[in-house]
Amino acid sequence: MNFPALAVVLALAATLHGADLPGVRRSEVIYGRKFGTALTLDILQPPNTNGFGVVAVISGGFFSSHDGINPSYMREILGRGYTVYAVVHGSQPKFTIPEITEDMHRSVRWIRTHAASHGVNPDKLGVFGGSAGGHLSLTLATQGRPGDPRAKDPVDRASSAVQAAACFFPPTDFENWSGPGDTQVGVGKVGRAFHAAFGPRSENMEDRLKLGPEISPIHGLGPSTPPTLIIHGDKDGLVPLYQAESYKKRADAVGAVVRLDVKPGADHGWANMENDLATFADWFDKHLRGK
């Protein structure tokens, strides 16, 4: 069992994807370092840039690889003129979800600090991803925070908040997976399969009760949560539709703008899923560009 990766292997190229997808690709740009290892992202910039940027979270099962960056998959978003920052994070089993989350915060701070040099508005950033990448997208949407004005590194002074989010079939509440009380924090079907992602804190009940809310985006929902779109299949055998439904219900209760599109008959991924990124692009057009 595995969370399907968001993209497939692509050879490095000077253009985004041959003659049919022109633009500039800056590969393996360093946005931070962790234990001496570079954290990198790719900057995918179409020729008809619209001045806005979105973060693509390259993650499946909380594993991330540069080989998972597929510009062709993102053509619906690139075709609207968005500059895409494809972020690779530290992966499990070496790193846990809280540690991976910090990579994502760092990436947004780096992007915001350098956005103007790419012709991108630093005050209007979106984020998208699927499965684990969807979870991390929602984490940024609910836990984005101001930078430290006293930080030595100017990147750490920038905010990690995003202004719009869109995702496929995201885990939203690890404590209540398929229903109330169905915890997957280091236990259960998902918890056992990706035990390393939860780390040693999931070994005892007291720590598990603290870790669950920390890594579950549903607990961060509030009126200031940026507009969020979720597309989820009603036959998902890995991340139950209940995850998206409970997130939507909680959002409505606290005044957050969350739209849930349910895809009938769809499992955890479906054929031609990249076509649904046109809906993501519509969402960003509305909530970033105001169109």
- Asked whether 191 and 177 are in contact (CB, 8 A), the reply is no
Burial category of 114 from C-beta neighbours within 10 Å (exposed 0-12, middle 13-18, buried 19 and up): middle
Provide the pLDDT confidence category of residue 264 given band limits of 50, 70 and 90.
very high
Secondary structure (DSSP) of 191-241: HHHTHHHH-GGGSSHHHHHHHHHHH-GGGG--TTSPPEEEEEETT-SSS-H
Reading phi first (left if > 0) and then psi (alpha if -120 to 50, else beta), residue 139 is in alpha
Task: Give me the pLDDT at residue 88, please.
Answer: 98
Q: Considering the chain, what percentage of its residues have pLDDT values greater than 90? A: 91
pLDDT, tens digit, 9 for 90 and up, residues 211-255:
999 999 999 999 999 999 999 999 999 999 999 999 999 999 999
Rounded CA separation 111/278 (Å): 23
Q: State how far the Cα of 162 lies from the Cα of 210, in Å rounded to an integer.
A: 25
pLDDT for the residue 22:
76
| First CA to last CA distance, the chain | 40
Q: Is 181 left (phi over 0), alpha (psi -120 to 50) or beta?
A: left
Q: Per-residue pLDDT for 261 more than 60?
A: yes
How many residues does the structure list for the chain? 291
Percentage of the residues of the chain whose pLDDT score is greater than 70: 93
Q: What angle do CA 165, 170, 174 make, to 5 degrees?
A: 125
CA 149 to chain centre: 26
Tens digits of per-residue pLDDT, 12-60?
233 344 445 678 999 999 999 999 899 999 999 999 999 999 999 999 9
- pTM (two decimals): 0.92
Class of the CATH-defined domain 24-287: alpha beta
Give yes or no for a contact between 61 and 7, defined as CB atoms under 8 angstroms apart.
no
Condensed to tens digits (0 to 9), the pLDDT of residues 126-179 reads 999 999 999 999 999 999 999 999 999 999 999 999 999 999 999 999 999 999
Q: Please name the helix (run of DSSP H) or strand (run of DSSP E) that holds residue 143, with its range, or none.
A: helix 132-143
Q: Rounded CA gap, 72 and 5, in Å?
A: 15
Output Rg (C-alpha) for the chain, integer angstroms.
18
Cross-strand partners of 260? 230
How would you classify the pairing of strands 53-58 and 37-45?
unpaired
Q: Given CA atoms 22, 51, 162, 41 in this order, what sign does their dihedral have?
A: positive
Which pLDDT score, from 0 to 100, does residue 291 have? 86
In the predicted model, is pLDDT for residue 8 greater than 80?
Answer: no
